[in-house]
Amino acid sequence: MIVFSPWAFGTTQPWSITVMNAGGLLLGLPLVCKWSIRKSTGLTPERWSEGAPRWLNVTLVFLTVLPLLYCLISAANGRAAFTEADSSFVYQDCISWLPHSYDAGSTWSFFWRWFALALVFWAARDFLLTGSAAPSKREGPPARLKRLLWVLSINGGLLALEGLVQRALGSTELLWILEPRINKSPEAQFGPYAYRSNATQYLLLAWPVALGFWSWIKEERRREGPPVHNYLLPCVLMMAMVPLFSLSRAGAIIGVVTLIGAALVLLVKGRKQGDRTSVIMAITLLIAIVLGGLVEWGHLTKRFASDPLDSGRHEIWRNTWQMIQDYRVYGTGPGTFASVYHMYRPSAEDNWAAHAHNDWLEALVTFGIVGATPIFAALALILLWPWFCKGRRLPGAFTTCVYLSMGSCLAYSIVDLPLKVYSIAFLFVLVTTLATLEGNGRRFEGRISRSKDGSSA
């Protein structure tokens, strides 16, 4: 799923969304089986982390299930069905005091997508936490986490490389296969994404995690063999450069801020631990900002000067805010923004926006205050997860890079639609999973200890 989702043109087509939904459901089946077996037999699997407090896990399960129930009730309790052919609503009876939807078909599609992503979160978390009581090497991540992060990092590096080559050759076809229906110019696309900002958003999520992974595994200090962790550096640098080379204005701003933040993390680590490699990498990131800015200065200045900074989204946001005022309690129904928005255009000639270009506002419009509250609460709980645990199990630099990744996506959500694109939402779910691997106990170091009789523990 990590490899498939971005290369399948960002998972923006019905066929690729169906494949990813099926993948999420297939991950959920063994997860339910494992939970059932553990419950019936009392089996406690080996875990490399002591885990978070029970109340924290129970709360997160509750906040995961609540929005799913909200989507399910809204879809089953449809207020209307939207007819795309004549842009009209066919109204039907519903229970008004329960959540309801003004486009039941879209809400059903939204429900299956969220259900699949919820299963991905819990299946990935269970997979990463179990499997070994302690790492097999002197230091570094456990084997399962290491494999997942290697796949994510290499796949992101190849994605960035393909996009940069495609941009340099001036191809108007995504992956040299097909020409998109919109954004036909090479400057508007990037790699397999028909919208350059979506590619930027995906790689802004991926590269800080890859950098944190590099910072972690280089501590293994293997006595034999090549320093394989350095193979990650080309992937990190290529992904980190995409926000500048993609010509996305928000991407350039958020990308530079993220680069500076990552450089500061490495500088602090290098100063505290006397780690010269981290300091050199931090300086490299800062130099990359300067070089990238110099190379793309002409194109970037032209982009910032050509169109209004909000790209006409102020009108969409104003109309969206009016929708929030009219449907503030239960919203219009999950996934129904495009169906309802056309009624709020000042005239039929105005643009019919399919998204609010602000995921926060769109969540309020479609879920209402009642439905959006548990979503925001779950996000806040994940962001505050380490502070609810008595001890930190993961290295500080890795955890900080994970939060840089999430922060870049949440900041981008203010001016665009990253979480409406399946591949980006899937990767965001995986990154939030990494944030919840923190648990109680002393910092995770993975060193092999020895008992008095000399046996390893």
Residue 164 lies inside a defined structural domain of this protein? yes
**Share in percent of the chain as helix, strand, coil (round to 5):** 65, 5, 30
Chain centroid to CA 267: 26
**49 or 182, which is more confident:** 182
SS3 456: strand
Is pLDDT of 223 > 50? no
Q: How far is CA 262 from CA 53, 211, 231, 297, 419, in A?
A: 30, 8, 19, 22, 23
What are the pLDDT digits (tens) for 302-344? 888 877 766 778 899 999 999 999 999 999 999 999 999 989 9
Note whether 433 and 385 are within 8 A (CB). no
Q: Which of 147, 265, 286, 151 is nearest to 208 (CA)?
A: 265
pLDDT of residue 136: 43
Question: Max Cα separation, the chain?
Answer: 83
Whole-angstrom distance, CA of residue 52 vs CA of residue 56:
7
- Checking if the pLDDT of 137 tops 80, the result is no
In this model, does residue 454 exceed pLDDT 50? no
How far apart (Å, rounded) are the C-alpha atoms in residues 81 and 348?
A: 21
- What is the predicted pLDDT for the residue at 164? 93
Instruction: Name the token pair of 46.
Output: 């080996």
pLDDT exceeds cutoff 60 at 75: yes
Q: Give the count of alpha carbons within 13 A of 334, CB side only.
A: 26
Number of domains observed in the structure of the chain: 1
* Mean pLDDT, residues 68-82 taken together: 95
Residues pairing with 89 in the sheet: 82
For residue 311, being part of any structural domain is answered with yes
Terminal C-alpha separation, the chain: 36
CA 386 to the chain's CA centroid: 19
pTM of the model: 0.92
Could you report the per-residue pLDDT of 48-61, keeping only the tens digit for each? 766 678 889 999 99
Task: State how far the alpha carbon of 200 is from the alpha carbons of 33, 180, 236, 391, 419, in Å.
Answer: 38, 18, 14, 34, 13
Mean pLDDT on 370-378: 97
pLDDT-based confidence at residue 449 (cuts at 50, 70, 90): very low
Q: Which two tokens stand for residue 242?
A: 């995409």
Nearest-angstrom CA–CA distance, 257 and 63:
31
Q: HSE, CB side, 13 Å, CA atoms: give it for residue 74.
A: 32
Quick check: 198 pLDDT over 80? yes
Domain enclosing residue 243, as ranges: 4-13+132-435
Q: Predicted confidence band at 77 (pLDDT cuts at 50, 70, 90)?
A: very high
**pLDDT over 80 (residue 145):** yes
Alpha helices in 274-389 (DSSP H): 276-306, 313-326, 337-341, 359-383, 385-388
Q: Answer yes or no: is 81 within a domain.
A: no
Question: What is the per-residue pLDDT for 14?
Answer: 95
- Which helix (H) or strand (E) segment holds residue 124: the answer is helix 104-129
**At residue 82, what are phi and psi to the nearest 5 degrees?**
-90, 130
Work out the mean pLDDT of the chain and round it to a whole number.
88
In a domain, 309, yes or no: yes
Q: Can you give the length of the chain in residues?
A: 457
- Residue 432 phi/psi, 5° resolution? -65, -30
Distance CA 424, CA 363 (A): 16
166 token code pair: 């495609």
The residues near 242 (Cβ < 8 Å, ≥ 6 apart) are: 160, 163, 164, 190, 199, 200, 203, 251, 255
159 assigned to some structural domain: yes
CB-count burial class (<10 Å; 0-12, 13-18, 19+) for 40: exposed
Would you say 91 and 98 are in contact if contact means Cβ atoms under 8 Å apart?
no
Determine, yes or no, domain membership for 92: no
Amino acid at the residue 268: V
Do the domain assignments include residue 407?
yes
C-beta separation of 200 from 255 below 8 A: yes
The 10s digit of each residue's pLDDT in 422-447 is 999 999 999 999 999 876 544 444 33
Joined together, the tokens standing for residue 2 give 């990590």
Look at residue 49 in the predicted model and tell me its pLDDT: 67
448: Cβ–Cβ under 8 A, 6 or more apart, which residues? 134, 138, 456, 457
pLDDT in tens, 280-310: 999 999 998 888 888 888 888 888 887 776 6
| Of the ranges 52-56, 217-221, 374-378, the best mean pLDDT one | 374-378
Query: Residue 83 above 90 pLDDT?
Result: no
Q: Of 233, 331, 244, 327, whose CA–CA distance to 280 is shortest? A: 233
Residue 380 within any structural domain of the chain: yes
Return the SS3 of 81: strand
Closest CA to 435 of 60, 19, 18, 38: 60
Q: Given a cut of 50, is residue 109 above it in pLDDT?
A: yes
